Amino acid sequence: MNALKLKKGASAHSAYNLANLSGDQVETHTLAVIVDNEAGVLARVIGLFAGRGYNIESLTVAEVDHAGQRSRITVVTTGTPAVIEQIKAQLGRLVPVYNVHDLTVEGPSVERELALVKVTGAADKRVEAMRIADVFRARVVDSTLESFVFEITGAPTKIDAFTDLMRPLGLKEIARTGVAAISRGI
């Protein structure tokens, strides 16, 4: 019997008591963070997540303003609404951060990801892999007698569905870029 009535995985003695005791629903949010494009900034932003035990589902980084020396970090993370608000507040307080946008809350947005998927197989499995790739609009970017490498872009759920269908056909390797996202409209 658990005298403290803690849920599995929780500990009153842990510095990272991550159990969701409030009963709030865990949500997935996409955050766009504009930062200085200089050495160590990504490490500081990611260190904020790691130091507090927050998980990162996806991460992409690229320079978006060469003249202004700014980069955009797109982070997909999960947590309760309170945890997401805490993440946004803590990100906003970091010195190299200019602004933080929660694309999930701010309105409709477009999310896309690119994946390279290697599938090996012979005869019927090759034909079926090509048929599925055609349905998903995946392109063959490399082909040998034993394998295909497909390039597929789309929402993360589309890529998940594609890879699930390729598993029984000989899925060998997947390389994913992570989510790139932008808000719709003006």
Tell me phi and psi for residue 64, to 5 degrees: -120, -15
Give the CATH number for residue 124. 3.30.70.1150
22 within some domain: no
CA gap 26, 30 in Å, rounded:
14
Segment-wise mean pLDDT, segments of 10 residues, the chain, 186 residues: 46 48 81 94 91 91 93 94 93 91 93 96 90 97 94 96 96 95 88
Same domain, 66 and 115: no
Q: Which of 79, 102, 125 corresponds to the end of one domain?
A: 102
166 within some domain: yes
What is the number of domains present in the chain?
Answer: 2
DSSP for 51-99, please give it.
HHT--EEEEEEEEEETTTTEEEEEEEEEE-HHHHHHHHHHHHHSTTEEE
Q: Which of 102, 134, 169 corresponds to the end of one domain?
A: 102
122 within some domain: yes
Same domain, 91 and 135: no
Residue 68, both tokens = 């202004």
Instruction: Give the per-residue pLDDT at 132.
Output: 96
1 within some domain: no
Same domain, 113 and 97: no
Same domain, 65 and 124: no
Range of the domain at 41: 27-102
3 within some domain: no
Tell me phi and psi for residue 7, to 5 degrees: -70, 160
CA gap 31, 121 in Å, rounded:
39
CA gap 35, 74 in Å, rounded:
11
Query: Which residue type sits at 171?
Result: L
Q: Which of 102, 131, 149 corresponds to the end of one domain?
A: 102
Same domain, 152 and 178: yes
10 within some domain: no
Instruction: Give the per-residue pLDDT at 123.
Output: 83
> Residues 159-162: contacts with CB within 8 Å, 24+ apart?
159/113, 159/115, 161/136, 162/115, 162/117, 162/132, 162/133, 162/136, 162/138
Give the CATH number for residue 44. 3.30.70.260
20 within some domain: no
Instruction: Give the per-residue pLDDT at 181.
Output: 94
Query: Which residue type sits at 183?
Result: S
Nearest to 160 by CA among 144, 172, 176: 176
Instruction: Give the per-residue pLDDT at 121.
Output: 86
168 within some domain: yes
Instruction: Give the per-residue pLDDT at 135.
Output: 97
